[in-house]
Amino acid sequence: MNLKTELTIPSYLKQSFDKYPNNPFLGFTDETALTYLEVKQKIKNIIANLENCGIKPGDKVAILSNNMPNWGITYFAITSMGAIAVPILPDFNSVEIQNIMEHSESKVMFVAEILASKIAELQTEYLNSIIRINNFELIKSTVIDHYDTTIATNQEYEVKESDIAVIIYTSGTTGNSKGVMLSHKNLMFDAKQSGILQPIFENDKFLSFLPLSHAYENTLGLLLPMQNGASVYYLRKLPTPAILLPALEQVKPSIMLSVPLIIEKIYRNKIMPTINSKKITKVLYKIPATRKFLNAAAGRKLMKSFGGNIRFFGIGGAKLDSTVERFLLEAKFPYAIGYGLTETSPLIAGVNPKTVRLNSTGPAIEDIELKLIDINPATGEGEVCVKGDMVMQGYYKEPEKTKEVFTEDGWFKTGDLATLDKDGFLFIKGRSKNVIVGSSGENIYPEEIESVINNFEFVLESLVVEEKGRLVAMVHLNMEELEAKYKNMKVELDVILEEIKRDMLVYINSKVNKFSFIKGITIQKTPFEKTPTQKIKRYKYKND
């Protein structure tokens, strides 16, 4: 790679177009991918149409779409002409979309056909055109009468490293969406450093299913492969097992990015039921030596189910359950954990499959600074703060909120509490906003208790909250599995649930320290509401 390449999206695109013109780049899993050269031509066409819509450098253009090749092509077109992309998460509702469109002052919107109903009433004083992203058809416009697929721009745009490339509106667990301004330098620096951590080659195939409108997939699942001439494939539908398994077999990806919930579900719904189905394996699994043997055998099957070619399975976006991580380690599955935030483009720290360390997100990526502040001398825990070229420019139109997250000497405060070991490996304990202070002033991390609860039989997910000074666990159970197990017993379901709750309480409190004891359990009948990276929206379940 030419290290002198400017840290802008168009500079790296030009480099890849020149170097890998005939390499496959973007495609659906069931079709031949568009080459880098074909993507280049489509980008020139989109820019020409945006010019006809009056878009100039610095203007905002929104993308409301599920993942598809045209998502990336549109994003590259917007950022290549010095305009600012505003990706909107497909999960946002109509009110949130309306607010983002108004706040960002976006002039053009590209929308996916399946999400068009969400913008049926959309109207702002800034918006002049809406284009269907699936086939680039004009839906409506006050400035053009059709989208022209035959034209191409001949204008060269000067895009600087300091120019804002994207404003990402977060869907955080604390409820307040803020527009995170990331520059070209922020994004391309982070992608480049990620490529140093885990080298990417032109024959690598990415299978992408996390939302491209999130910084995690945007940088590591689109910009990183683009920098290195690799290809990216997308699913046409949501990644259910019926859709994902054939796609894995067809694409045989070498690189995948995931959130913990996906691999945790595979472990609890596929791996453990197989081991627990026989009394002998259930007993043997409790012995460390035979557990490792059984996990290694399960790992070989897992690798095969993922297409057989995985060399990097990245996990980020939330904390991975330690029991599941131990399984992946003993299964010799090539997983790696990373840590970051939207505000840091996103990666701050990470490992590759050869350098994993149980329960750690790894050391800081190269050429950034990381430290802990306000360290508790008893535990060594402090708030993670960082400096580097990947740190955002600020929150759009929110100077006061921006000021709140930076120290006076320019360190970005992540809001995460962690410890550092002697080698600089980071161990995240939890969000400072989530910490529950015990009666004697102890810090209680609900995430740690939840990881214990989630390993109890029938538990799908859980949330620990404080109620009147008591710790209570809200638990969502796999009712289908539970009912199947007890279907031949002449016992009321309510009686079974009460028994499960009693057993669960004993189990939890035998695994946690005294000040983290759970005093009560309530059954959550429906799945918890989640962010795009599958973190539970805690603020929705807090008791005032």
Q: 183-220: per-residue pLDDT in tens?
A: 999 999 999 999 999 999 999 999 999 999 999 999 99
Q: Name residue 385's beta-bridge partners.
A: 371, 413
Higher pLDDT, residue 123 or 144: 144
Residue 415, in any domain of the structure: yes
Asked whether residue 116 falls in the same domain as residue 134, the answer is yes
What does the pLDDT read at residue 171? 58
Per-residue pLDDT of 274-329, as tens digits, reads: 999 999 999 999 999 999 999 999 999 999 999 999 999 999 988 899 999 999 99
What does the pLDDT read at residue 441? 65
What does the pLDDT read at residue 241? 83
Q: Report percent pLDDT > 90 for the chain.
A: 79
Asked whether residue 441 falls in the same domain as residue 421, the answer is no
| pLDDT bracket for residue 170 (50, 70, 90) | confident
Asked whether residue 385 falls in the same domain as residue 288, the answer is yes
Asked whether residue 278 falls in the same domain as residue 146, the answer is no
Residue 496, in any domain of the structure: yes
Residue 282, in any domain of the structure: yes
Rounded Cα–Cα distance for residues 227 and 190 (Å): 11
- Max avg pLDDT among 95-104, 167-176, 305-314, 449-458: 305-314
What does the pLDDT read at residue 176? 58
| pLDDT bracket for residue 172 (50, 70, 90) | very low
Predicted TM-score (pTM) of this structure: 0.87
Mean pLDDT on 408-420? 96
Residue 1, in any domain of the structure: no
Residue 323, in any domain of the structure: yes
What does the pLDDT read at residue 469? 83
Mean pLDDT on 225-239? 96
Higher pLDDT, residue 336 or 512: 336
Q: How far apart are the first and last CA of the chain?
A: 54
| Boundary (domain end) residue, out of 431, 451, 477 | 431
Mean pLDDT on 247-276? 93
Asked whether residue 165 falls in the same domain as residue 281, the answer is no
What does the pLDDT read at residue 73? 98
What does the pLDDT read at residue 440? 62
Q: Note whether 303 and 244 are within 8 A (CB).
A: no
Asked whether residue 134 falls in the same domain as residue 266, the answer is no
Rounded (10°) angle between helices 479-486 and 493-511: 120
What does the pLDDT read at residue 174? 44
Asked whether residue 390 falls in the same domain as residue 440, the answer is no
3-state secondary structure 167-211: EEECCCCCCCCCEEEEEHHHHHHHHHHHHHHCCCCCCCEEEECCC
Asked whether residue 214 falls in the same domain as residue 138, the answer is yes
What does the pLDDT read at residue 167? 98
pLDDT at 168 over 60: yes
Mean pLDDT on 45-55? 98
pLDDT at 121 over 80: yes
Asked whether residue 410 falls in the same domain as residue 310, the answer is yes
> What is the average pLDDT value for the chain, to the nearest integer?
93
Asked whether residue 296 falls in the same domain as residue 348, the answer is yes
Query: What domain range includes position 487?
Result: 436-541
| pLDDT bracket for residue 534 (50, 70, 90) | confident
Q: How many domains does the chain have?
A: 3
Least confident of 1-15, 75-89, 129-143, 351-365: 1-15
pLDDT at 1 over 50: no
CATH of the domain at 449: 3.30.300.30
| pLDDT bracket for residue 2 (50, 70, 90) | very low
| Boundary (domain end) residue, out of 379, 400, 431 | 431
Q: Note whether 537 and 529 are within 8 A (CB).
A: yes
Report phi then psi at 306, rounded to 5.
Answer: -90, 10
Per-residue pLDDT of 66-78, as tens digits, reads: 999 999 999 999 9
Mean pLDDT on 521-536? 88
Asked whether residue 465 falls in the same domain as residue 531, the answer is yes
Question: Is the Cα torsion angle 12, 17, 22, 25 positive or negative in sign?
Answer: positive
| Boundary (domain end) residue, out of 388, 411, 431 | 431
Residue 4, in any domain of the structure: no
Residue with tokens 């070498």: 254
Residue 358, in any domain of the structure: yes
Residue 114, in any domain of the structure: yes
What does the pLDDT read at residue 214? 92
> Going by C-beta distance under 8 Å and a sequence separation of 6 or more, which residues neighbour residue 351?
197, 336, 337, 338, 357, 360, 361, 362, 363
Which helix or strand (DSSP H or E) is residue 437 part of? strand 436-437
Asked whether residue 412 falls in the same domain as residue 476, the answer is no
Q: Report percent pLDDT > 70 for the chain.
A: 97
pLDDT at 12 over 50: yes
pLDDT at 179 over 90: yes
CATH of the domain at 339: 3.40.50.12780
